[in-house]
Chains A and B, each alone.
Chain A
Amino acid sequence: MTIMAVDPVLARRAEIQRIAQATDHRRELLSKLALLACRACLVIVLIPLVALLAYVVIRGASAWSWAFFSHLPTPAGIPGGGIWNAIVGSFIIDAMAAAGAIPFGIAAGLFLAESSGRIAGVVRLAADVLSGVPSIVVAIFAYAILVSHGIGHFSAIAASFAIGVLMLPVIMRASETAIRGVPGVLSEAGLALGARKATIARRVILPAALPGLITGVLLAVARGAGETAPLLFTAIGSQYFSISPTKPIAAIPLVIYQNGIQAYPDLVKIAWGSALFLVVVILFLSVGSRLVAARLRRVRSD
């Protein structure tokens, strides 16, 4: 027995157990407190975001009416103005931007997914950096080549160009991720059948990557539709109804910005109503992209 008691290993073990027991309570308490602090951070993050949405819904809904959606804007002080021209304007700007950015972006995503060299690496990094360039800087680019040169005045197409450039990197990276996720055996099966690369891309890879492609495109469109800064000196806004790509045009984000900073309650009300409309559209696109992707994946796996 005495030999066991002086065994250095056992003595050390006993010492460790003693210290562990002494610190155990303190460590557990510290752990609980720290976790509580982390959860408090989560609440702190969610509170302003929930408050923001609540304000937009409450103040925005009171501005909604049939006239709000179907009328043109009225001068300050005259009630009854609407945002019909801005809804159409935003649709035209974003549709033209998407029409340019989607095929280009998916093709570039295909390039990124199918190449692994240094050039692909540079293109990938360039796309990542482009997605971090402030939208106001992209607006200057659109202004420089389409407003001060090119068309020569403010226009819907200049706004589309700016928005399209902002959509591009999102679509590229999402497409690349989606296409890389397609199992290699599928395209190898195509090769074994003697199909050409273009045929495999069109008939095998792109259909298989469709859920991811749709998610990427919808996310990009949601991002583009909410951008305001690129419209400031490209589309510039308008009180009139216009569908011409080469003329100044109204847009929802511009209505929110320009009416929101006015002192007239009527105009501020329209800004809140437009904000709710924009948030609904964007959340619809964002949630929709997830649902579509999830549903397509489930159908595929069945």
Chain B
Amino acid sequence: MTDLATLPPRPGTAGRLRRLLAVPDGAYRGALGAVAALFGILLVVFVVSMVMQARPTFAHFGLSFLTSTKWDPVHVHYGVLVFLVGTLETTAIAMVIAVPIGLGCALALAFGIPQRLRVTLGTAVELLAAVPSVVYGLWGLLVVAPWVRTIIEPALAKITGGHGPFGGSQLGVGLLLAGVILAIMVLPTMVAISRDVLMAVPEVEIEGAFALGATRWQVMRRVVVPSARSGILGATTLATGRALGETIAVTMVIGNTDHLAHSLFGTTQTMASLIANEFTEATEPFHLSSLIAVGVLLLVVAVVVNLAARLLVRSVGRQRAIGIGVL
């Protein structure tokens, strides 16, 4: 009955260190518990410190902070509605593009191409999810914006007659470009998670459908997709969360103006880009606390969206590593 830890230590520092690290089980469990507790404390401090600093704004402006469209540091009036709408608009454009294309791409990656290509292209997509957002922003501003200004926006205006959402001056930067860049950025996430979810569908269900004479497409549409539905919804929600909070790329391509976009081609701001643009210039106390209040709003949205997404994804793949490459 010799405990390994009670053996006489070898001489020298290595022995002493080993002796020191061979702590009793209670202390070991306690230390791990302390780490977990520290993590909890970190999160509590996170939320509390932000709410504390945002309090002046919530106390002073109340609900009008959410409903006012006027953001005017000179006259000390702060309303976030313009940026809330801007965030929702860019995210909506991004998801309208990214969800169908991403789902199609995930289906192709999971079932539509030869086995060897699957691994290569799948890994490529996962690696592209690691490209930093500032690089997407640089590319969007310097390469894609001129294309949008000279080709895409004139073409759209010509086809639709140039009214309503397709009217107004064509600048390149603006709502449309921000949405498109966001779509490109969230696609790898969307694709990688959807693919993992699709591949988690039990093999027997797929084989059963084939045995009944279903074509490949029928198997995908009637068996695989319905079976993976909640996971796909989770992937979509997760990508939505990314799009809502994306900062630097959007800041570079949206044009940064403090009013609602008059059309798809118009410039505006999102909550995240507002913070990025004005935080270091905020000298007036209400300005800073209002920007932090915008951050609190963004935090609340992100937590709600992510809680929903994780619960959906988790309900699919308890045992499997879903989206481990991009999360």
A residues touching B (Cβ–Cβ < 8 Å)? 20, 27-28, 30-32, 34-35, 37-42, 44-46, 48-49, 51-53, 55-56, 104, 107-108, 110-112, 114-115, 119-120, 123, 125-137, 140-141, 143-145, 148, 165, 168, 170, 172-174, 177, 193-199, 201-202, 219, 222-223, 225-229, 232-233, 236, 253, 256-257, 260-261, 268, 271-272, 275, 278-279, 282-283, 286-287, 290
Contacts and interface: CB of A to CB of B under 8 A. Distances in A.
B226 to A, nearest CB: 15
B33 interface: yes
B134 A226 contact: yes
A169 to B, nearest CB: 9
Contacts of B187: 45, 49
Interface string B20-43: 011111011101110110111011
A195 B28 CA distance: 13
Contact of A261 (B35, B141, B327): B141
B252 interface: yes
Contacts, number: 276
A68 to B, nearest CB: 16
Question: Helix, strand, loop or mixed for chain B's interface?
Answer: helix
B2 A194 contact: yes
Contacts of A194: 1-4
A31 B216 contact: yes
B276 A232 contact: yes
Contacts of B24: 196, 198
Interface string B58-71: 00000000000000
Q: Which of B133, B248, B321 has the most CB of A within 10 A?
A: B248
Interface stretch (B77-85, B123-131, B155-163, B260-268): B123-131
Given A45-B187, A125-B310, A145-B49, A199 B132 contact: no
The 6 A-B residue pairs with the shortest CB-CB distance in the complex, in nearest-first order: A134-B245, A226-B132, A41-B104, A132-B306, A31-B215, A31-B217
A141 B327 contact: no
Given A111-B32, A129-B306, A256-B138, A196 B25 contact: yes
Contacts of B25: 196-198
Q: Is the interface of A mostly helix, strand, loop or mixed?
A: helix
Given A31-B216, A107-B35, A137-B302, A226 B130 contact: yes
B275 A195 contact: no
B272 to A, nearest CB: 5
B246 interface: yes
B245 A233 contact: no
A266 to B, nearest CB: 14
Contact of B35 (A44, A52, A104): A104
B176 to A, nearest CB: 15
A260 B252 contact: yes
B193 interface: no
Contacts of B137: 257, 260
A145 B47 CA distance: 11
A137 B28 contact: no
Contacts of A126: 39-40, 43
Contact of A193 (B4, B35, B247, B305): B4
B21 to A, nearest CB: 6
20 contacts: A31-B218, A39-B112, A41-B107, A45-B191, A46-B124, A49-B188, A111-B33, A129-B306, A132-B302, A133-B302, A134-B247, A173-B327, A195-B3, A196-B3, A196-B24, A226-B130, A275-B135, A278-B132, A279-B131, A283-B127
